[in-house]
Amino acid sequence: MKWRELVNIAITALILITVAFLRPMLTFITGSEAPLAAIDGKSMLPTLREGDLVFSYKPKPSEINVGDVVIYRRGSTLIIHRVIAVLNEGNSTCYLVKGDNNPTVDPALPPCKNGIPYLNIEGKVIEVSGYVLKLPYLGYYSLWLNNLVK
């Protein structure tokens, strides 16, 4: 083998190893099970478009405020929507969430009568100066891989 071929193989292996360990590293650093998330659908238009890739971290309940974009789990599905109200129901903090492009709020999940419980919140989407930090189009790769696995 030529030296150039060995270098190409080494670079390819390094990229694959980095990609393989990127998500676990980000999960460890951010505390979020969804440190990177791809937008799939139109519910967050015009803020987020299909194929956008967003970054999140696991906040404390008190760090989630009206106007924040959160990622929450409904069964095995991750949903990315905006918090429109923070509610205290007994011992639970619940978040009323809605897609920017949706006419109604998301259905509640137990133990909340209204909203999404903190236990279902996987992450808070990172914003910089009031703008969601996103990488356009890079989420299509993740969506494509998910469709391959289905």
For the stretch 67-96, pLDDT in tens is: 999 999 999 999 999 999 999 998 899 999
Reference 36, options 149, 117, 141, 106; nearest CA is 141
pLDDT of residue 146: 63
pLDDT of residue 1: 63
Q: Check whether 61 has a pLDDT greater than 80.
A: yes
pLDDT of residue 125: 97
Q: Check whether 14 has a pLDDT greater than 90.
A: no
Interatomic CA distance for residues 141 and 120, integer angstroms: 26
Residue whose structure tokens are 């999940």: 109
Q: Check whether 145 has a pLDDT greater than 90.
A: no
